A and B are shown apart, each in its own frame.
Chain A
């Protein structure tokens, strides 16, 4: 889908705010139920963006990590009052199991959030934000990201042709492969270095280094960005105030509190969900506009 639709059309600054908050609140609201709901919200977010395709491709590593954390924490941490059983002479406590589970849920939510980040915040948007801070660094990033596909393509070409000369990393002894690998990379670098002299000429020819640079930017801060930012800030304020008053997190050590949510916790959860799902409002609106458009045909 194009950059002009729904969440993707939001201003990079708003998106940055959203993800910064998303990460921060995940850390603050350390409660398995809240985190579970947050994860669900992030998943919904992902499904809206691309039908959950990218998330599915990450699902397996995430599951492995989830199970790993679940198991490893009780094994290495023996804090907590309530001992469930002994494994050899290791005490497995209820608290460390709960902590491991919460931690695992937190990371699961965080990674899910990052999957959507990769879809929404394209290099373009990232660069735009970056360029304001340091145009030079932004240029470097742009040059590097232009370089990567070029290098990759060249290496494939080089490997293809050099195989005919017996310089290959797929056959032979380990030492020979390593030697050949170094040879290939050295040729690639020599080649690239040679070409970069011309690139430097091309930069100079177009006035690089003649004075301060300006930035050609394409993102406009629109009304919707303003509303979304205001909504996000409001929800964030609510979460912070409630958290200050001791709501929205679980005291695990030394003794596990009951899991049930009180009124304050529920309020925090609601604010958190509003925060996570707020950018989707634009998405829903745009979809309705599309449906209306298609229906009218």
Chain B
């Protein structure tokens, strides 16, 4: 009844040479949890949107899309809107009205439901999601995860039979992403809703999915169980496929002597496997922490070593590039302080990854360090000079700040114009040449004439980075640069950051992406409760952590992650493009 089928679907966007989808035939059974993987531009979104006819793209289509046995264009408008629910990527942009309650009732009002039914649905769905206490809140004041939960709930008010999710986790931090994933899984299991979800990062989803479909260039290249996908990817050794496997799976398969082993998809399964038959790991198995101070405590809330910031010997004693002392900042008199009494030093040549929970003030701290915000107490010194004494132009020439949303950096109609202005401001003699040179270096040359809004997420990011690099800053502060970009774009970003570092820039990156940080950073810091409470080299930082740790560190908890897969493995795929 509720099954979904694409029958020989071919789709051309207007003016596009190649089809976005070429004769795709797929069917999804009622109640299945299907994850749709594949690189950007492989046709995932097109496939999903062709099923949701209200938002279907314009273009030439052949073949049929069926819900049950009925072609979707024959459904009644209200039935079509209600039966198929869609949640998209950006939590903000899907919210239509002002309060959570209005937002949740929006869809039901559109369908002209009677009030008693609306109220019952409201009670049920808010109860299921546990968001009753949010009802009277303004949607703008919610966190990203809460917003996405509200989006999901407001779609469920219509009791859809099929739920389409188009990269719903890309803009969320890992914790919120896990929460939303959990909700989706529960809906699938408890309510029997068919779920089709597209996503870049598959490692959290593989263990949950019934089925994985991988798309490339508008065709389906894999369709089967997640475990079969892992085995297939390992057999093929195609880097783009391997990229989408969880790192523990890759590690376990790489260290397994038996090639026919069932690929583990989670830390738990990998551990069971290491317990059984992975010789290398079993020889170093040390379940009990030793009495040495090094592996002092396994609890994540007690970070190992270097509890007072910046005192660890490994961090060197070079003169600091940037030093913060006794920083205190609150957004207003009523609000609690975001940072209080923070001390931190950044030395020339550092590559720092700054961790911290959601809303722990990482962004605020970066903005304070960049001189964009003025602390209420305390001072930030750049090479011994107080930031507050430096003129704006001199300050921003030396410190570059990359905001979480790269769009914030653009102010003109084309990328070239923006680059020209930035080059002129940096004092370039020939701005045109400078702008073209950096665009060429970042692989943006063909995009120079584009409007910043017409760039993809990863391209926007690189463009904003180019704007900053034109000023040749000594210090680059990056706020979650890997958020919402796919593996390929991430690898590219890593390469350009490497280049910038080689050119003498010191890098500080606030991030949730532990794996990226583990390969990128020379130093990891943890912001908690307004202070830097851990600050050390990555190996020492991750060892003993369970939460702020890569899955690999979790697997090898307390042991060294020798033979781990460095992130640079991903950069090797770069050349294939």
B78 contacts the other chain (Cβ, under 8 Å)? yes
> Do A190 and B421 touch (CB < 8 A)?
no
- Interface 1/0s, chain A 247-278, versus B by CB < 8 A? 00000000000000000000000000000000
A160-B367, A206-B110 known; A187+B122 contact, CB < 8 A: no
Chain B residue numbers with a CB within 8 Å of A166 are 392-393, 396, 425
Instruction: Name 23 A/B residue pairs within 8 A (Cβ), A-sorted.
Output: A146-B140, A157-B408, A164-B401, A166-B396, A168-B392, A183-B412, A191-B407, A191-B453, A195-B92, A202-B86, A203-B96, A204-B54, A205-B52, A207-B78, A207-B110, A211-B77, A214-B108, A214-B113, A215-B109, A216-B108, A216-B109, A216-B115, A218-B101
Of A7-15, A79-87, A137-145, the one touching chain B: A137-145
A228–B408 CA distance with the chains assembled, in angstroms? 53
B81, B367, B411: the one within 8 Å of A187 (CB): B411
A245 contacts the other chain (Cβ, under 8 Å)? no
Chain A residue numbers with a CB within 8 Å of B115 are 214-217
B370 contacts the other chain (Cβ, under 8 Å)? yes
Chain A: how many interface residues by the 8 Å CB criterion?
Answer: 51
> Do A206 and B158 touch (CB < 8 A)?
yes
Question: Of B101, B112, B408, which is in contact with the most chain A CB atoms at under 10 Å from its CB?
Answer: B408
Chain A residue numbers with a CB within 8 Å of B94 are 198-199, 202
B445 contacts the other chain (Cβ, under 8 Å)? no
> Do A164 and B372 touch (CB < 8 A)?
yes
Give the contacts of A157-214 with B (CB-CB under 8 A). 157-158, 160-168, 171, 183-184, 187, 190-191, 194-196, 198-199, 201-214
Closest A-B pairs by Cβ, 3 of them: A207-B81, A206-B107, A216-B105
A143, A195, A212: the one within 8 Å of B93 (CB): A195
The binding surface of chain A is classed by DSSP as helix
A195–B90 CA distance with the chains assembled, in angstroms? 9
> Do B403 and A157 touch (CB < 8 A)?
yes
A206–B151 CA distance with the chains assembled, in angstroms? 11
Question: Of B98, B102, B113, which is in contact with the most chain A CB atoms at under 10 Å from its CB?
Answer: B98
B138 contacts the other chain (Cβ, under 8 Å)? yes
Residue on B nearest A158 in the bound complex, by CB: B408
> Do A123 and B110 touch (CB < 8 A)?
no
Chain B: how many interface residues by the 8 Å CB criterion?
Answer: 65
- Interface 1/0s, chain A 27-52, versus B by CB < 8 A? 00000000000000000000000000
Residue on A nearest B395 in the bound complex, by CB: A164
Chain B residue numbers with a CB within 8 Å of A146 are 95-99, 138-140
A167-B411, A212-B112, A216-B109 known; A145+B54 contact, CB < 8 A: no
A191–B101 CA distance with the chains assembled, in angstroms? 26
A139–B164 CA distance with the chains assembled, in angstroms? 26
B55, B78, B85: the one within 8 Å of A204 (CB): B55
